[in-house]
Structure 1
């Protein structure tokens, strides 16, 4: 596969994963698939959602580079040359940084857990907060991520624990794939700078 075709493949592949990250992040603003909690969002929505890892990181910071990277693979485009390939390396680095940001935020969101109505063991009353955030054993067998029986700790919004885990996991997987694609483009762009884009000239 020549460098131009590879760029086109990478660029086109980044678009759907960017869309997935943006949509998943938007859904996180509606815990438990309900709009009731948006009214007092500062109290009821998980803080990590406001970091916009899926919208800014996996979304905009990957989507903009994807446009240029895809353009370098188009034979009739002015970007299909060594200079365009060099710029694609810079854009791929920006996309990689965005993917890493989305990945980090999604991991943080999963580790800290959702904001929900749960029982405070010290006062034996229902409060809003992140009941899983204070756990010292984040990735042990005692973690809520690996113990589904703990998910019932959250009483409202209904099903919010599974909701957060699924959506943050989607952003996590999508950002890993984005990072891999951007890494491929960095290598491909370097080869394109040195060897050209396989563009046929009359």
Structure 2
């Protein structure tokens, strides 16, 4: 059994691009996948949306779509990227995923995929707590939705702990951004090259299994 830590941010377009590889890893019996949100675009990493940033994001998103086949809709471009009242802030979505990790951890990959699809295809504002609760509700993740509606100290602490672990691993291994994949074998951690995660998801799975 391989222990693999997936370090990501729910507003990272490249993490969305790696989605098929992450799904393949999560579904393989030989891999134990651990999700660790990095908080890259939360807190001090959050920023306002503006025309310059929207243009940069859309250009980057088109590169990701060409390489991975993951869709970015025109609706997302017109309703999310041009909404300058909306912050580019992954804090709420990260919090929602931690709520899933506490209540139904085996469904966190499914929840992440749903949040990404909601943003990049359906143009849902996943920086909004009500929208996040609705998405979790549609997935029948009612426990997570309830935790998100009434966050407590345990949820706060778990969120801080997960982000802290992600950042510690990134610093320890010299990871420069997300997504990052960290393989742990016999207590030793190493960073895996992630380029195949975008262009060849099943090839990346084979790379993990052979490592």
Q: Could you say whether these structures have the same fold, taking a TM-score greater than 0.5 normalized by the shorter chain as the test? A: no
Range class of TM-score, shorter chain: under 0.3
Question: What TM-score do the two structures reach when normalised by structure 1?
Answer: 0.21
Higher strand residue share: 2
Higher helix residue share: 1
The structure with the larger Rg is 1
